[in-house]
Amino acid sequence: MTHITPEGLSAWLKDRDRGKPLLLDVREPWELQTCRIPEAIHVPMREIPARLNELDVEADWVVICHHGVRSMRVAQFLEHQRFTRVYNLTGGVDAWARTVDPAMPTY
């Protein structure tokens, strides 16, 4: 697993010469009511094992949570399931809001 900063992810999403990663938000539904990165696919952490077949093993995945701890655990799990291009968003949506999107609410 590779860690990616919010600034690094923002640059990647804006780079037209590089394929866009898939964003996997593993937070709980109530957390999404406060804030979310619009492009993210939502699958709560506890549902990942049961919904693994919905995720493309060949894709670049950036896993997101509130502060980066749950997403790191999910990223490690995905790697054990033979996903090879997995990134953990360092600091989670909290860091994203503080460094990339200051208009985003925090909690």
Q: Mean pLDDT throughout 82-103?
A: 98
Residues 6+ away with beta carbon under 8 Å from 39: 13, 20, 23
What's the confidence (pLDDT) of residue 86?
A: 98
pLDDT in tens, 7-38: 999 999 999 999 999 999 999 999 999 999 99
pLDDT in tens, 24-75: 999 999 999 999 999 999 999 999 999 999 999 999 999 999 999 999 999 9
Q: What are the structure tokens assigned to 12, written together? A: 């990647």
Helix residue spans in the chain (DSSP H): 6-14, 29-32, 48-51, 69-80, 92-99
Domain 2-99 adopts which CATH fold?
Oxidized Rhodanese; domain 1 (3.40.250)
Residues carrying an active site annotation? 65
Q: Mean pLDDT throughout 99-104?
A: 97
Total-model pTM: 0.97
Where in the chain are the domains?
2-99
